[in-house]
Structure 1
Amino acid sequence: MEKLDQIVASFSSLAWGLPLLILLIGGGIYLLIRSQFIPFTLFSHALKVLRGKYDDPNDPGEISHFKALTTALSSTIGMGNIAGVALAIAVGGPGAMFWMWVSAIVGMSTKFFTCTLAVMYRGKDSNGDLQGGPMYFIVEGLGKRWKPLAVMFSAFGMLGALPVVNVNQLKQAVNDILLIPNGVEVNVYSDLLIAAILVVVTSIVILGGIKRISNIASKLVPSMVLLYFILVLIILGMNYTEVPKYLLLIVTDAFEANFIKGDAFLGGMLGALILLGIRRGAFSNEAGIGTAPMAHGAAKTKEPVREGLVAMLGPAIDTLVVCTLTALAILVTGVWQSTSDNGVTLTASAFEDAMPGIGAYALMVCVFVFSISSLFSYSYYGSKCMSFLFGTKHKHIYNYFYILSIILAATTDFRTMINLIDGVFALMAIPTMTATLIMAPRVVKEIKAYRKRFQV
């Protein structure tokens, strides 16, 4: 296992080199400028679209704008917001959060472009049904000679969609919050029992397809965000004098890198901090990775720009709001310096510190819902990739492979799992961002036409 850990860590470090950083952040800044800062100029219009003002049940697609966003958010609002942020602060200190903010702001423009393309260039699967996602907009938008990029995305997408981090951290939360404090012995058998329960729950939902997934996600996501929001506000209210201090520290440490542990990057520890923040931001909001366009590509709309506008709200909700709340809860309670905990356990320590006796259990409820909803959406992404590569009649095979991976994740080390997904996400981003940057001028043309038609 130790050898496997080293191999996976090396793979992740290699994938997350300078070229990918330039592609994700440099590419995202280019898209932000080309769109004339559309995440800011059309933010209020995006909210109107999300509320259903322009919904038409006769439009092509399977699900509403709102359900498309909540399906996408049910995968991004998950362990990236609880375990990912905790890992970023444990390794990088407060400054890592600043670079996650940068990742989110740039990611809003990236999500707009990728999800607009997902509707502009929807393709048909082997059943003749309309589908969206990077693999389809690569082939439909760039032509058959670019199909190797689409195959690359789909192949890595099947691995990237595996629920290994969510399951691993849910298992850790159950062990650290429920079992160990109550004197229950934690071993491979208890891990397998947790995995078995997750297998049953996940199977019931994912075998029902996108409509069942989106219906459940549209109910779970808003309620879990609200509950988490209230819990963290209670923690911040109890430590309100510390909040301004740590908001300032997030900004100053972003350029001083006083707390980071690990190897230098781009000539120093500041480079390592920037890379850490961007990686955790990408893991959290998945902008540029290509997962969200698969959900948004299923939206009922004739207007690609409209779905892009709804999609760009994802990183704002996910990283600027939910991740910031987690970071502040960890920082103001001081657990990031007083314990050696990592991942979800560090966040649980913050909740328990502020609300002894109930804090960790309240977080447990959030962790469970975050994890379960993520499990549903990722299965949809993976089966779509399988369908593109091998045909729709074989896509159900992925669900069984997916369910088996739950057992693997429940019995494997956290760092191995997160390094694996980090590395695979990097390889998914290459075809997604390459195709998006090539077709960016087409999206810009579509924006101008949309603004003219609707006077926005």
Structure 2
Amino acid sequence: METINNFLSGLIPYAEWIMLFLVIGGGLFLVIYSRAMPYRYFRHAISITAGKYDDPNDPGEVSHYQALSSAVAATVGLGNISGVAIAIYMGGPGVIFWIWVTAVVGMCIKFYSCSLAIMYRDQDSAGNLQGGPMYYITKGIGPKAKPLAQFFCVAGLVGFLGVFTVNQFTQTFMNVVEPDANLFTMGEFNWKLTIGIVLSIITSLVIFGGLKKIAKVATAIVPFMVVLYFISVFVVMFFNAGQILPSLELIVSEAFNFKTMVAGGFWGMVILGVRRAVFSNEAGLGSAPMYHGQSRTKEPIQEGLVAMLGPFIDTIVVCTLTAVVIILSGAYLEAESNGILMTLIAFEKSLFGYGDVLLMLIVAAFALSTLFTYSYYGTKCLSFLTNAKIGKYFNVYYIATITFAAVASVDLVINLIDLAYALMCIPNMIAVLYLAPRVNKEMNRYFKNLKDGRAQSRIR
């Protein structure tokens, strides 16, 4: 594992510089190219998600809300709790500012990529309607771009594993319960192995039921876990109200810390912020278009607007709340190890000594929802590389890696996923930027019709 970890650590910087250029540079280009139009229709996006424009006769498998819930279930997870802690641990509070920047830009990337997922849907070998990067690459750019789609899918076979989620949940359980001290002694390795096996069994009961079962479970879990987490965070912030503004000020001031720039760590902090933001909300990664491509709609722009809400919920709201709790509690100055331990310290200190137990329950909900939804992405990647029949076997491989992740080191897991994400981001962003003019044409048509319809409604 140490040899693999060292190898991955050497590869990551090269891929991440390319990812930085494509996500931030490409994302800023899309914001300007769209004239910031998607942001202006934020309220309209909420109306679409609420079902105001749903038509049960439209093609697709799930509603706008179910598609967003499934995508958010995959992103609102341990990346928001543990990922934020890792970012602050490695780069300080200033990293959060660059996570915000990436999230705002990421909203526009999600708009374009998920609009493309509807524009270029295609049937798989089983005759089922599918959407995602591999389809808008091959249908939008053309058959000559198929190697780009295949490259995305190969990277996805690693990137779409639930290894980070399992690893961080296991670390949470071991830190909170301390089983060797409180229960019969099994040894740390055996406890981790047992946790991995239990998670494998629970996950298999859901993911072998297909997309509709995953969407149904995700729709039930996501509101519950988000509300419970919000309540916990707001309680912490209520009892530490005087520290909220100083915490936010610290984030902004540290983001432009002159000493950091002179020391040569500024761009490292920016890259870390981009890396953790991409891990958190998956903007530019190409995962969300796979779920949003299954929505029941004929309007690509509607789905793009719905998808745009994902990074806002996931990063602007949830990640910020986590960061503020970590900073105002002073936990970022105390944690001696990478991972979720920092967040556990923050919650335990701020919620009368029982916050770590509450966080463990929240983490369990986050972990399970992410594990349920991520398998679908990998299945689609393997199906594209082979066929729909063989693609289902990804779930077997997926379940097996859950047990591995429970006993692996956090550094190995982070490096593995970071590299896979960077490699997936490259072909997806190339396709999104290449096809952006076609989305703009569709966007102008949709917003013109929307304005004309509203105008006529006012006249009537």
1:143 CA drift (Å): 1.0
Measured against aligned partners, the alpha-carbon deviations of 1:199-252 in whole angstroms (never above 9, x if no partner) come to 111000000000000001011111111110110111111111111111011011
1:402 CA drift (Å): 0.3
Q: Which amino acid aligns with 2:91?
A: G
Which one of the candidate residues 353, 356, 362 is aligned to 1:360? 356
What is the aligned-residue RMSD (CA, Å)? 1.5
| Aligned pairs (5 A) from 1:130-209 | 130-180=129-179, 182-184=181-183, 185=185, 186-209=187-210
Equivalence for 1:330: 326
1:291 CA drift (Å): 0.4
Equivalence for 1:104: 103
Equivalence for 1:216: 217
Equivalence for 1:231: 232
For residues 370 and 11 of structure 1, what CA distance do their matches in structure 2 show?
30
Equivalence for 1:78: 77
Equivalence for 1:319: 315
Q: 1:4 to 1:156 in 2, by over 3 A?
A: same
Q: 1:257 to 1:275 in 2, by over 3 A?
A: farther
1:81/1:318 contact within 8 Å kept? yes
For residues 90 and 37 of structure 2, what CA distance do their matches in structure 1 show?
34
* More displaced 10-residue stretch of structure 1: 182-191 or 443-452: 182-191
1:28/1:106 contact within 8 Å kept? yes
Q: Is 1:378 the equivalent of 2:377?
A: no
Measured against aligned partners, the alpha-carbon deviations of 1:402-440 in whole angstroms (never above 9, x if no partner) come to 000001101100111011101100000111000000000
Equivalence for 2:292: 296
Secondary structure at the counterpart of residue 393 of structure 2:
helix
For residues 65 and 258 of structure 2, what CA distance do their matches in structure 1 show?
39
Equivalence for 1:246: 247
1:454 CA drift (Å): 1.7
1:38/1:109 contact within 8 Å kept? no
Q: Which amino acid aligns with 1:41?
A: R
1:94/1:249 contact within 8 Å kept? yes
Secondary structure at the counterpart of residue 104 of structure 2:
helix
For residues 258 and 121 of structure 2, what CA distance do their matches in structure 1 show?
44
Equivalence for 1:42: 41
Equivalence for 1:5: 5
1:267 CA drift (Å): 8.3
2:285/2:425 contact within 8 Å kept? yes
2:180/2:188 contact within 8 Å kept? no
2:110/2:304 contact within 8 Å kept? yes
For residues 273 and 134 of structure 2, what CA distance do their matches in structure 1 show?
28
| Aligned pairs (5 A) from 1:249-268 | 249-256=250-257, 268=264
1:383/1:395 contact within 8 Å kept? yes
Q: Which amino acid aligns with 1:176?
A: N
Equivalence for 2:268: 272
2:335/2:341 contact within 8 Å kept? no
Equivalence for 2:394: 398
Q: Which amino acid aligns with 1:251?
A: V
1:182 CA drift (Å): 4.8
Q: 1:112 to 1:203 in 2, by over 3 A?
A: same
Which one of the candidate residues 409, 413, 418 is aligned to 2:409? 413
1:40 CA drift (Å): 2.0
For residues 223 and 87 of structure 1, what CA distance do their matches in structure 2 show?
25
Q: 1:445 to 1:83 in 2, by over 3 A?
A: same
Query: Percent same amino acid at aligned positions?
Result: 47
1:114/1:308 contact within 8 Å kept? yes
Secondary structure at the counterpart of residue 61 of structure 1:
coil
| Aligned pairs (5 A) from 1:439-454 | 439-454=435-450
Q: Which stretches in structure 1 are left out of the alignment for 5+ residues?
A: none
1:129 CA drift (Å): 1.1
1:181 CA drift (Å): 8.2
* More displaced 10-residue stretch of structure 1: 184-193 or 160-169: 184-193
For residues 392 and 158 of structure 1, what CA distance do their matches in structure 2 show?
15
1:3 CA drift (Å): 2.1
